[in-house]
């Protein structure tokens, strides 16, 4: 079984971190490779960064399809381009936000998400709603630190996360915490020990979901919404645009 982990941003060190987290939890017979596009934002912090990251990510999935990849993990908590990716891929495509939320709803009655910047909160709130978790998610919190700050100052990052998780435990009465950034994945176990509350990492959750789905023989449905995209030539697209504007 071959799972391809794609970090949609162009920061290779973050890709390596997520890859290491994935390798810690998969079975010895599961191969996990990790890639990131070269010409995408160095971090994804908002809708504009998401949009810029999607074409490169889809190109990596197309390569994976040619190479016989069995499943894909999108290692960005915004789950950018998730539906588009599922149209292209034959095997399962798992976003780390959806995976983290599904785990949290399975092992707890109420949870909170702790992410990086406040601007990410509305995006994550929309995803929580889209994944049917509004009744379970008590809050989406931010430590007000850029994504790249997690790597630049790991000690400060960990202190901020411990403090925010403690607030979520007390103020939100959360029973579990979902880490809202792939760059936090290496801290999961330490944060659980430091705060006394279950902390869930979406990277490992997504990889295990992918592994389970492939092992059970489940692939992406190609009936209806996730059918392969219609092949269109540039000329046909141009003619459609002309007709539409006439």
Q: Does the pLDDT at position 162 exceed 80?
A: yes
pLDDT per residue as tens digits for the range 59-101: 999 999 999 999 999 999 999 999 999 999 999 999 999 999 9
The CATH number of the domain holding residue 89 is: 3.40.50.12500
Q: Is residue 243 part of a domain?
A: no
Domain that holds residue 216: 2-95+205-222
Give the list of residues 6+ apart from residue 202 with CB closer than 8 angstroms, or none. Answer: 77, 95, 96, 97, 99, 100, 178, 179, 182, 185
46 shares its domain with 125:
no
Q: Is residue 229 part of a domain?
A: no
34 shares its domain with 68:
yes
Q: Does the pLDDT at position 212 exceed 90?
A: yes
129 shares its domain with 61:
no
Residue 217 in 3-state DSSP? coil
149 shares its domain with 86:
no
Residue 245 is predicted with a pLDDT of 45
Task: Give the count of domains, the chain.
Answer: 2
CA torsion 50→59→39→72, rounded to 10°?
A: 60
Residue 153 is predicted with a pLDDT of 87
211 shares its domain with 90:
yes
Other CB atoms within 10 A of residue 127 CB: 22
């Amino acid at each position: 079984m071959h799972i391809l982990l794609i970090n949609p941003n162009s920061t290779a060190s973050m890709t390596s971190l997520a890859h290491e987290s994935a390798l810690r939890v998969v079975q010895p017979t599961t191969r996990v490779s990790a890639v990131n596009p070269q010409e995408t934002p160095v971090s994804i912090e908002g809708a504009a960064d998401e949009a810029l990251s999607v074409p490169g990510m889809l190109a990596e999935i197309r390569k994976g399809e040619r190479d016989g990849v069995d499943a894909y993990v999108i290692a960005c908590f915004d789950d950018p381009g998730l539906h588009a990716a599922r149209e292209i891929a034959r095997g399962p495509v798992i976003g780390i936000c959806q995976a983290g939320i599904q785990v949290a709803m399975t092992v707890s009655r109420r949870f909170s998400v702790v992410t990086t910047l406040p601007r990410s909160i509305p995006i994550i709130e929309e995803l929580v709603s889209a994944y049917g978790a509004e009744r379970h998610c008590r809050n989406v919190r931010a430590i007000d630190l850029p994504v790249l700050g997690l790597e630049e100052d790991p000690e400060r990052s960990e202190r901020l996360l411990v403090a925010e998780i403690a607030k979520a435990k007390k103020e939100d009465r959360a029973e579990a915490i979902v880490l809202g950034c792939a760059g936090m994945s290496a801290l999961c176990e330490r944060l659980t020990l430091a705060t006394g509350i279950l902390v869930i990492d979406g990277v490992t959750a997504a990889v295990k979901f992918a592994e389970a789905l492939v092992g059970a023989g489940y692939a992406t449905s190609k009936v209806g919404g996730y059918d392969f995209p219609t092949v269109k030539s540039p000329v046909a697209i141009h003619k459609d645009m002309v007709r539409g504007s006439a």
